């Protein structure tokens, strides 16, 4: 290892060099919605495409959960022109990443589609040298109740089977001459009630957080000089729908607004929210502020690579744009499609369901998958986008605490895997056929039993965001403390059931039964859990000391830190390796959790004396060799980078970042989940970032797993509120900028 001290700081008038991403361009129309292009902002995502001369876009917004906890789309919008799109030689559909908008050009016609980042408003502007008229249509497949089929139930929180006769309820529509208002209205009783009753919490229902009851979501399509033309019926991708058609005046300029609103309460209250947003639209100023937000988004960080990594960095940028479309939402981006699902029959021809479908549910947040979307936001500096995921846990925190108090009479928040948006285990995964007397707080499920440590990763994200970005995380500390308290309280509770000693012979709490993710089951001291408990507790202590917290609280967690068990080791062919646990009873899935102490917990890594143990684990452990992969949530690309294995990191990250299966290259999947597979893109981001920058013991390692023959220019964030911009060009390294400059002495080029 050689330490370098290059410093070349440039000042730019607008954006840092490389921070204005290139447009992404199509020069032909699309065949169907699977060939759509993302567009969005705030909490809204559009799938935009041109098909058979018409412009279409689906609209999705985070938080639109129906009574079954399906994440419903707002609908489909269609623009029909007297002269069809796509006939001229200069047709193009352009994603202007820098400004966050999509532009369709055809002849002299220019259609600008953009979403206000700060208000739930979609704008469509058309300008042309010739006068023309436009037909605007709103299309909905929820014009009627739709019976939910057996396989279709995977879009709900009932998963493997909804109650007999259950439907996706129809929407409501109010037609006026110049606009249409549409909304979906949940009843009081929803899958929340069924889940609470199933899990023996009915007596506490009135005090529980419930995001579904009386939730109303929808919006209004309105425009300049529109005239209502009536309804029509049709079928798109196997799904019947009804459309409401409006005709514009003949003009060179047209403007359409689609205004959205979500609210829990009465229809009158929802209308107040909708009208307030409509009254607050100032298109010119709103467009300026939206563009500025996107400019700042791209200025925070970037990765631009050449050679065989040029498509990798392009796809990284495109996927980061998709995450940016939900950056200011109240709800996290869903791992299984985010805001950009399209017709499911185009993912799998046997899935002849509506565009609302996504596998693994709409309101179920599978924590092992969700984490991979949010870890990369630390190095990309997108802390505003991280808020929605941390706030998600804060909202459901009271319900998770209630579980512990009701079931086991102890403190601590019990967060499970397959977690509902109200903090309870998902209805079906909880177990519908449970043995008499089985612990009501435990999921009766071979994959999920005792799998409740993933919350620790989100706790650590909060600390990392505080350290790297200066995020104020004070409101999250009670949730973090309670998440740690759960493991102390619950495993002490279980120890009392087994005997009179709470600690083992070394003075440690026994994490048994535990679980190495969904894979190493009935485990004793799973290494993934032990590494997480030690890391998060250490981070909490450091935070409390920095904030001059109560000494009693600090001493409590220092004692707890001393009582957490360490990870386990074993020997394979004469090589010391990390063990998944001391012992385990069976292997149930394909997650090599013996590498979790490498990522996400960074107990092993570049610059650490113990690196060889982790490398041996990567090379020799038979489970690791069998489970290595890049599909969806698989993380071989991350571990190869974090171990400093450049050749392996190149191999696995090139595979991970290969263009997705659809026209838009960052629409990955379906993988293990659904398309677009967002945990595929998120895990890809982590691996690529870690090839370029890692940290160990206060030192910043640049290019720790990057090939020296591939040019790259990047800007990323790390601890100490530090920003690093560096370039590798023709084998030469330039450190363009480090903020603060005092961190220059911490740089190590590997």
Mean pLDDT of the chain: 96
- β-partners of residue 44 are 41, 61
What strand order describes the sheet that includes 586-587?
514-516, 520-523, 586-587
Look up residue 564 and give its DSSP letter.
S
Contact 376, 370 (CB under 8 A): no
Give dist(CA 523, CA 580) in Å, integer. Answer: 8
Q: How many CB atoms lie within 10 A of CB 493?
A: 15
Phi–psi pair at 254, nearest 5 degrees = -135, 150
- β-partners of residue 2 are 749
* Token pair recorded at residue 592: 């090599």
Closest CA to 546 of 463, 660, 644: 463
In this model, does residue 449 exceed pLDDT 50? yes
Question: For 504-510, what is the mean pLDDT?
Answer: 97
Q: Is 54 helix (H, G, I), strand (E, B) or coil?
A: strand
In this model, does residue 409 exceed pLDDT 90? yes
Supply angle C-alpha 75, 76, 82, rounded to 5: 150
Closest CA to 211 of 76, 44, 371, 394: 394
The predicted pLDDT at position 510 comes to: 98
Question: For 306-331, what is the mean pLDDT?
Answer: 99
Question: For 493-507, what is the mean pLDDT?
Answer: 95
Q: What is the pTM of this model?
A: 0.96
The predicted pLDDT at position 88 comes to: 84
pLDDT (tens digit, 9 = 90+) per residue, 186-230? 999 999 999 999 999 999 999 999 999 999 999 999 998 999 999
In this model, does residue 697 exceed pLDDT 60? yes
Give dist(CA 562, CA 708) in Å, integer. Answer: 42
Q: Cα torsion for 349, 352, 358, 359, to the nearest 10°? A: -70
Give dist(CA 433, CA 422) in Å, integer. Answer: 22
Give dist(CA 461, CA 458) in Å, integer. Answer: 5
Question: For 86-101, what is the mean pLDDT?
Answer: 96
Give dist(CA 729, CA 712) in Å, integer. Answer: 7
The predicted pLDDT at position 625 comes to: 99
Give dist(CA 305, CA 311) in Å, integer. Answer: 8
What domains can be seen in the chain, in order of their start residue? 24-283 (2.70.98.50)
Element (H, E) at 407: helix 383-408
Task: Please enumerate in sequence order all residues whose Cβ is within 8 A of that of 696, keeping only pairs 6 or more positions apart, or say none.
Answer: 602, 605, 606, 607, 608
Contact 163, 68 (CB under 8 A): no
pLDDT (tens digit, 9 = 90+) per residue, 611-670? 999 999 999 999 999 999 999 999 999 999 999 999 999 999 999 999 999 999 999 999
* Token pair recorded at residue 470: 């200066």
Closest CA to 94 of 80, 110, 107: 110
Give dist(CA 76, CA 33) in Å, integer. Answer: 11
Give dist(CA 49, CA 30) in Å, integer. Answer: 6
User: What is the secondary structure of 342-394 as a DSSP string?
Assistant: --GGGT-TT----TT--TT-SSEE-HHHHHHHHTHHHHHT-HHHHHHHHHHHH
pLDDT band of 18, cuts 50, 70, 90: low
- β-partners of residue 50 are 55
pLDDT (tens digit, 9 = 90+) per residue, 98-112? 999 999 999 999 999
Angle, in degrees to the nearest 10, between helices 477-498 and 527-546:
140
The predicted pLDDT at position 32 comes to: 99
Closest CA to 461 of 395, 521, 375: 375
Strands 109-115 and 722-729: unpaired
* Token pair recorded at residue 750: 């590997």
> Torsion-angle region of residue 470: left (phi > 0), alpha (psi -120 to 50) or beta?
left
Task: Please enumerate in sequence order all residues whose Cβ is within 8 A of that of 362, keeping only pairs 6 or more positions apart, or say none.
Answer: 65, 66, 69, 70, 71, 72, 155, 156, 157, 334, 356
Element (H, E) at 94: strand 92-96
pLDDT (tens digit, 9 = 90+) per residue, 366-399? 999 999 999 999 999 999 999 999 999 999 999 9
pLDDT (tens digit, 9 = 90+) per residue, 139-171? 999 999 999 999 999 999 999 989 999 999 999
The predicted pLDDT at position 750 comes to: 82
Question: For 328-332, what is the mean pLDDT?
Answer: 99
The predicted pLDDT at position 224 comes to: 85
Task: Please enumerate in sequence order all residues whose Cβ is within 8 A of that of 182, keeping only pairs 6 or more positions apart, or say none.
Answer: 74, 75, 138, 140, 171, 172, 173, 174, 218, 219, 220, 221
Closest CA to 57 of 70, 71, 38, 42: 38
Matching residue, tokens 């209004």: 220
Phi–psi pair at 505, nearest 5 degrees = -65, -15
Give dist(CA 542, CA 539) in Å, integer. Answer: 5
Task: Please enumerate in sequence order all residues whose Cβ is within 8 A of that of 385, keeping only pairs 6 or more positions apart, or say none.
Answer: 323, 324, 326, 327, 328, 377
Give dist(CA 651, CA 313) in Å, integer. Answer: 15
The predicted pLDDT at position 7 comes to: 34
- β-partners of residue 364 are 420
pLDDT band of 19, cuts 50, 70, 90: low
């Amino acid at each position: 290892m050689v330490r370098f001290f290059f410093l070349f700081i440039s000042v730019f008038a607008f954006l840092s060099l490389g921070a204005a991403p290139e447009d992404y361009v199509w020069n032909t129309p699309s065949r169907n919605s699977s060939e759509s292009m993302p567009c969005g902002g705030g909490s809204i995502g559009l799938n935009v495409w041109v098909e058979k001369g018409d412009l279409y876009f689906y609209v999705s917004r985070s938080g639109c959960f129906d009574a079954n906890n399906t994440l419903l789309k707002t609908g489909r919008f269609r623009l029909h022109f007297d002269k069809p799109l796509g006939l001229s030689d200069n047709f193009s559909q352009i994603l202007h990443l820098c400004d966050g908008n999509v532009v369709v050009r055809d002849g002299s016609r220019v259609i600008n589609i953009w979403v206000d980042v700060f208000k739930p408003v979609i704008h469509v502007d058309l300008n042309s040298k010739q006068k023309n008229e436009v037909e605007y249509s709103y299309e909905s497949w929820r014009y009627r109740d739709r019976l939910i089929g057996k396989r279709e139930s995977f879009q709900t929180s009932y998963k493997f089977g909804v109650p007999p006769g259950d439907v996706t309820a129809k929407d409501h529509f109010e037609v006026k001459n110049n606009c249409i208002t549409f909304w979906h209205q949940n009843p009081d009783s929803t899958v929340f009630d069924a889940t609470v009753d199933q899990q023996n919490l009915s007596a506490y229902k009135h005090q529980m957080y419930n995001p579904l009851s009386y939730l109303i979501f929808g919006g209004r399509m309105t425009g300049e000089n529109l005239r209502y033309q009536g309804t029509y019926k049709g079928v798109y991708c196997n799904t019947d729908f009804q459309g409401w058609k409006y005709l514009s005046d003949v003009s060179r300029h047209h403007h359409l607004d689609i205004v959205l609103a979500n609210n829990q309460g009465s229809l009158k209250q929802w209308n107040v929210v909708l009208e307030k947003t409509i009254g607050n639209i100032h298109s010119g100023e709103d467009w300026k502020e939206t563009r500025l937000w996107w400019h700042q988004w791209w200025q925070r960080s970037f990765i631009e690579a050449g050679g065989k990594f040029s498509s990798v960095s392009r796809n990284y940028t495109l996927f980061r744009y998709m995450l940016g479309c939900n950056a200011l939402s109240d709800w996290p981006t869903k791992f299984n499609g985010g805001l950009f699902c399209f017709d499911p029959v185009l993912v799998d021809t046997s899935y002849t369901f509506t565009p609302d479908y996504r596998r693994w549910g709409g309101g179920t947040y599978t924590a092992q998958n969700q984490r991979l979307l949010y870890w990369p936001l630390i190095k990309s500096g997108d802390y505003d986008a991280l808020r929605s995921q941390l706030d998600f846990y804060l909202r459901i925190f009271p319900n998770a605490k209630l579980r512990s108090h009701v079931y086991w009479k102890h403190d601590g928040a019990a967060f499970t895997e397959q977690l509902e948006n109200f903090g309870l285990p998902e209805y079906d995964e909880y177990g519908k056929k449970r043995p008499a007397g089985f612990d009501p707080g435990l999921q009766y499920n071979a994959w999920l039993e005792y799998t409740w440590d993933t919350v620790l990763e989100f706790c650590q994200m909060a600390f990392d965001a505080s350290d790297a970005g200066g995020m104020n995380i004070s409101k999250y500390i009670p949730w973090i403390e309670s998440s740690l308290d759960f493991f102390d309280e619950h495993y002490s509770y279980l120890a009392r059931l087994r005997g009179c000693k709470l600690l083992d012979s070394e003075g440690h709490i026994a994490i048994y039964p535990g679980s190495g993710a969904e894979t190493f089951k009935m485990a004793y001291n799973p290494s993934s859990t032990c590494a997480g408990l030690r890391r998060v507790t250490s981070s909490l202590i450091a935070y409390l000391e920095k904030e001059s917290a109560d000494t009693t609280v600090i001493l409590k967690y220092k004692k707890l830190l001393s009582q957490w068990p360490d990870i386990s080791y074993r020997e394979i062919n004469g090589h010391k390796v990390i063990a998944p646990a001391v012992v385990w009873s069976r292997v149930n899935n394909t997650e090599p959790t013996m590498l979790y102490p490498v990522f996400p917990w960074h107990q092993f890594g570049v610059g650490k004396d113990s690196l060889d143990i982790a490398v041996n684990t990567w090379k020799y452990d038979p489970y690791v060799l069998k489970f290595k992969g890049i599909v969806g949530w698989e993380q071989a690309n991350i571990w190869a980078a974090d171990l400093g294995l450049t050749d392996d990191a190149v191999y696995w990250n090139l595979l991970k970042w290969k263009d997705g299966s659809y026209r838009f290259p960052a629409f990955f999947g379906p993988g293990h989940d659904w398309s677009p597979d967002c945990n595929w893109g998120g895990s890809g981001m982590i691996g690529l970032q870690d090839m370029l920058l890692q940290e160990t013991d206060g030192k910043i390692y640049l290019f720790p797993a990057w090939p020296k023959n591939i040019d790259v220019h990047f800007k990323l964030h790390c601890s100490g509120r530090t920003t690093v911009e560096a370039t590798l060009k023709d084998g030469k390294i330039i450190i363009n900028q480090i903020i603060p400059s005092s961190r220059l002495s911490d740089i190590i080029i590997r």
